[in-house]
Amino acid sequence: MILVLLGTFHIEFKRPLIEIDKLCRSGNLQETIVIQSGHTLFESPYFDMRPFITPNDLDKLYDDARIIITHAGTGSIIKGLKKKKKIVAIPRLKKYGEHIDDHQLEILNEFVALGYILPWNDNDNLEKKMLETINFNPKPYISRKKNIEEFLKNYIDSL
């Protein structure tokens, strides 16, 4: 099963669905596709569309997924990394009216540089990207949360 996460931002994000649907129609992608669609409306006989998913149900979907295709939001990416999933991330882009700025492109580039995820950039061929997942071995995720907490604690204590 492939889990596709579009996020819950109020602006639609159809670009990945159009490409995934094309692969399904051509017969080059033949597995269950569950979409957490948020506010994005899209019809495809190949998709199990679920606008909003409870945290418990989402956890199970992450566990069951072979691959996660997600918008480049930190929450969706980190959850997949913690579950040791192969992740293909596509940023919502301002030029397409998918977000108010390009911060997701910055997030994507950082996670790619660390070897955690595969990028799905503008003009990338999705079929080739899916083939890349076969040999992709993401680096184990290392949280830097403790470092940030320690830095903030030390800073506050120094005031």
How sure is the predictor about 142, in pLDDT bands with cuts at 50, 70 and 90? confident
- For helices 126-135 and 15-26, angle between their N-to-C axes, nearest 10 degrees: 80
Tokens standing for residue 19: 């490409």
Query: For residue 3, what pLDDT is reported?
Result: 98
Query: For residue 99, what pLDDT is reported?
Result: 92
Distance CA 89, CA 119 (A): 5
pTM: 0.90
Cβ atoms within 10 A of the Cβ of 150, count? 10
Q: Each residue of 35-69: pLDDT tens digit?
A: 999 999 999 999 999 999 999 999 999 999 999 99
How sure is the predictor about 22, in pLDDT bands with cuts at 50, 70 and 90? very high
Query: For residue 153, what pLDDT is reported?
Result: 82
Q: Chain-centre distance of CA 40, in angstroms?
A: 15
Query: For residue 152, what pLDDT is reported?
Result: 79
**What is the pLDDT averaged over residues 88-111?**
94
Residues of 97-121 as b/e, b for ≥16 C-beta within 10 angstroms? ebbeebebbebbeebeeeebbbbbe
> What domains are defined for the chain?
2-158 (3.40.50.2000)
Cβ atoms of 87 and 77 within 8 Å: the answer is: yes
CA Rg value for the chain: 17
151 or 11, higher pLDDT: 11
Cβ atoms within 10 A of the Cβ of 27, count? 7
